[in-house]
Amino acid sequence: MLQQWHGEPCDALIALHARRSAASIAAFHAAHPQRGLALVLTGTDLYRDIHHNHVAQRSLQLATELVVLQERGPAALPARLRRKARVIFQSAPQLGASTGQQRRFDVAVVGHLRHVKDPLLAMRVARGVKPETRVRVLHAGAALEPRYAAAARRTEAATPRYAWLGELTRSRARALMRRAAVLLHPSRMEGGAQAIIEAVRSGTPVIASDADGNRGLLGKDYPGLFPVGDAGAATRLIERAATNANFLKLLAARCRERGRLFAPEREQAAVRRLVRALLHNRTSD
């Protein structure tokens, strides 16, 4: 994988990020205007950059294929470009749900502590949840801004229902999700969160903000969604899951239904179809 295309021989190009890869996209198109060029769009592309950044907008125009990572992605594109869009769900290996008995109702939060992931909401949930629910919020991720590290330490000091675990390896983060009762994913903006996919494929139900990227993974009528930024609504959903076995089972069942979308073989087949489409465009230029 290259950080930038500098003219290396290739029959097609797959680029990630409309703005960050703009120079490579423009160079490839100038050199090979008839060859396939796929652009994979993230949350910052779909829900920020392409709406006001002319460089990102130019990348959309030049691409022959636009790849989004969840089913609501195409709706964020300009109408005239949606015909170029295809959804490819990312994947994760299937793991069996944890079978151990838990004294606490552990809520995993997995994601670096930065504004777009709304880490303060998880801390507010830990402070606000009723003690009798036995909820404990286990927050994994590096603090990418000092203010979030300070807030995490204050929350740990204020309540035993919150623990900041810092940055974990991918395998340890997935083990945390597998052992947890639920995953909380409170992001403000999302393109298609790998943490949600890995939780679902581990048998762990999800409670998430209703950002388009989360809804596009979990389904438009998923019952475990709360308004973006609404810590009170998130707390109520977590308390309901912790005290109502039927609701927790409903979340688990709905996640199992979506889990088939995130199978590695399904992603592999979709990528092969994309590559065939790109190579079909190749001419003798």
Whole-structure pTM value:
0.92
Residues 20 and 30 in one domain: yes
Residues 73 and 148 in one domain: no
Residues 79 and 130 in one domain: no
Residues 270 and 251 in one domain: no
Domain containing 234 equals 105-262
Cβ atoms of 255 and 205 within 8 Å: the answer is yes
Residues 159 and 222 in one domain: yes
Residues 37 and 140 in one domain: no
Residues 83 and 145 in one domain: no
Distance between CA atoms of 256 and 258, rounded to whole angstroms?
5
Please count the structural domains in the chain. Answer: 2
User: Residue 250 sits in a domain of what CATH number?
Assistant: 3.40.50.2000
| pLDDT (tens place) for every residue of the chain, 285 residues total | 778 899 999 999 999 999 999 999 999 999 999 999 999 999 999 999 999 999 999 999 999 999 999 999 999 999 999 999 999 999 999 987 666 667 799 999 999 999 999 999 999 999 999 999 999 999 999 999 999 999 999 999 999 999 999 999 999 999 999 999 999 999 999 988 999 999 999 999 999 999 999 999 999 899 999 999 999 999 999 999 999 999 999 999 999 999 999 999 999 999 999 999 999 865 445
Nearest C-alpha neighbor of 47 from the set 84, 76, 69, 82: 76
Residues 67 and 111 in one domain: no
Q: Is residue 44 part of a domain?
A: yes
